[in-house]
Amino acid sequence: MNQDMSILQLVLHASFVVQLVMLILMGISIASWAAIVRKLTAIQRIQTLNEEFEQQFWSGTSLNDLFSAAVQNAKLAGPMERIFASGMREYQKLRERRISDAGTLLDGARRAMRASFQREMDVAESQLAFLASVGSVSPYVGLFGTVWGIMHAFTGLASMQQVTLATVAPGIAEALVATAIGLFSAIPAVVAYNRFARDIDRVAIKLETFIEEFSNILQRSLGGSAGAGPISGAGSSASGH
Q: Is residue 241 part of a domain?
A: no
* Range name among 82-91, 93-102, 113-122, 133-142 with the lowest pLDDT average: 93-102
The total domain count for the chain is 1
Look at residue 3 and tell me if it is in a domain: no
Does the pLDDT value for residue 103 go beyond 80? yes
Are 190 and 135 in contact by the 8 Å Cβ rule? The answer is yes
5 domain-assigned: no
Q: Average pLDDT, stretch 75-91?
A: 93
Task: Centre a 10 Å sphere on the Cβ of residue 77 and count the other Cβ atoms it contains.
Answer: 18
In a domain, 221, yes or no: yes
Is 238 domain-assigned?
Answer: no
CB atoms near residue 154 (< 10 Å): 13
Residue 239 belongs to some domain of the structure: no
pLDDT at site 146: 87
Cα separation, 70 vs 209, whole angstroms: 19
Q: How confident is the model at residue 228 (pLDDT cuts 50, 70, 90)?
A: very low
What is the residue-wise DSSP string for 129-157?
HHHHHHHHHHHHHHHHHHHHHHHHHHHHH
Predicted pLDDT of residue 156:
67
Q: Does any domain span residue 171?
A: yes
Band of pLDDT at residue 200, cut at 50, 70 and 90: very high
Q: Give every CB contact of residue 164 below 8 A, 6+ residues apart in sequence.
A: none
**Structural domain contains residue 1:** no
**pLDDT more than 70, % of the chain:** 81
Give the model's confidence band at 231: pLDDT under 50 very low, under 70 low, under 90 confident, else very high.
low
Between 6-10, 131-135, 228-232, the lowest mean confidence (pLDDT) is in: 228-232
For residue 58, give its domain range: 21-230
Looking at the predicted structure, is the pLDDT value of residue 25 above 90?
A: yes
Global pTM? 0.80
CA 77 to the chain's CA centroid: 18
Contact 80, 208 (CB under 8 A): no
pLDDT of residue 201: 96
pLDDT for residue 227: 42
Q: What is the DSSP string of 188-207?
A: HHHHHHHHHHHHHHHHHHHH
